Amino acid sequence: MTARILDGKACSKEIEAELKELVPSLSVTPTLALLLVGTNPDSKTYIRLKKNACTRVGITPQVHELAETITFEELQTLIISLNTDQNVHGVLLQLPLPEHLKTHEEELLETINPLKEVDGLHSHHFARLTEFKKDGDKKELRLQPCTPAGCLEILARNGIELKGKDVVVIGRGQLVGLPLSLMLLAANCTVTTCHSQTKNLAEKVRLAEVVFVGTGQPEMVKGDWIADGAVVVDVGINYVDDATFRRSGNLIVLRIVRSFRTAQGTGLTRRT
């Protein structure tokens, strides 16, 4: 079966076009505070992409580039001030944080007002994932984590139905694997969540109609593990020393050439 690549960039452009129409109709111009601590190259890239995306759709980005040595107390004080600033409508704390702040990561995320915490990482948002309500109370704030939501959105926009499917999620982290598994259960999928201690991983993957790979390990899933007709979504970002990459184009889990797949490095980050 010929593989069909689901291009996240195209999905991103569709959503941007929709937002460009929506934002001017709002009663205020949204302002998003982007907090970057230190000089991590990946984090700087993500902040730049988010800043540019905001600008393109009419949202005002407010970038706070903070010193690597900032203390927990100083960072928490800044977050509290953004919570009370009526001109700031969203707050995003870029992760990962420097080593001396890692133990405070959860507390800092919890400091952000859930009404402004746009990444969906606050415990308020996570708790809502366990309720399996289709719509919930319309007055209730229900914000899904961005990356898992992006995974489901790209499939929905390509007409891929998940209801009733046997799904394997590889990875159980709080950013992707765990919330994604809960969201898939809410979408009426039968979900198997796998991780580094899972036995017979290949057998489980071969039985799946949809596979989400959310690990940072290159080529963890082999091409011959994927059933014909299966959908594969690669959520992880891997650095591979491969001089042929630019020539060979889109790669995913050891060059799988089966059914639908997302292109590694072509848009889940842009989508989210």
Whole-angstrom distance, CA of residue 205 vs CA of residue 201 = 6
Q: What is the mean pLDDT of each run of 10 residues along the chain (272 residues)?
A: 78 95 97 98 96 98 99 99 98 97 97 96 91 58 86 94 97 93 96 95 97 83 90 75 49 44 49 48
Answer yes or no: is 264 within a domain: yes
Give the separation between CA 143 and CA 158, rounded to whole angstroms: 22
pLDDT for the residue numbered 252: 44
CATH number at residue 27: 3.40.50.10860
Q: Does residue 111 sit in the same domain as residue 168?
A: no
The reply to whether 107 and 151 lie within a common domain is no
Domain assignment present for 201? yes
Beta carbons within 10 angstroms of residue 214's beta carbon: 25
So what's the pLDDT on residue 219? Answer: 74
Pairing of strands 60-66, 31-37: parallel
Give domain status of residue 14, yes or no: yes
Q: Under a CB-based contact definition with an 8 Å cutoff, are residues 152 and 210 in contact?
A: no
Residues 155 and 84 both lie in one domain? no
pTM here?
0.83
DSSP-assigned states of every residue in 5-73: EE-HHHHHHHHHHHHHHHGGGSSS--EEEEEEES--HHHHHHHHHHHHHHHHHT-EEEEEEE-TT--HH
Q: Is residue 30 located within the same domain as residue 99? A: yes
Supply the CATH number for residue 190's domain.
3.40.50.720
Give me the active site residues, please.
50, 94, 119
On whether residue 252 sits in a domain, the answer given is yes
Assess contact for 34 and 88: CB atoms under 8 A.
no
63 with 158, same domain? Answer: no
Query: For residue 129, is it within any domain?
Result: no
Range of the domain at 186: 145-271
Asked if residue 112 and residue 150 are part of one domain, the reply reads no
Sign of CA dihedral 20, 22, 24, 28: negative
Q: How many domains does the chain have?
A: 2
Q: Please indicate, yes or no, if residue 1 is contained in any of the structural domains.
A: no
If residue 169 lies in a helix (H) or strand (E), which one and from where to where?
Answer: strand 166-170
170 contacts 201 by C-beta, under 8 angstroms: yes
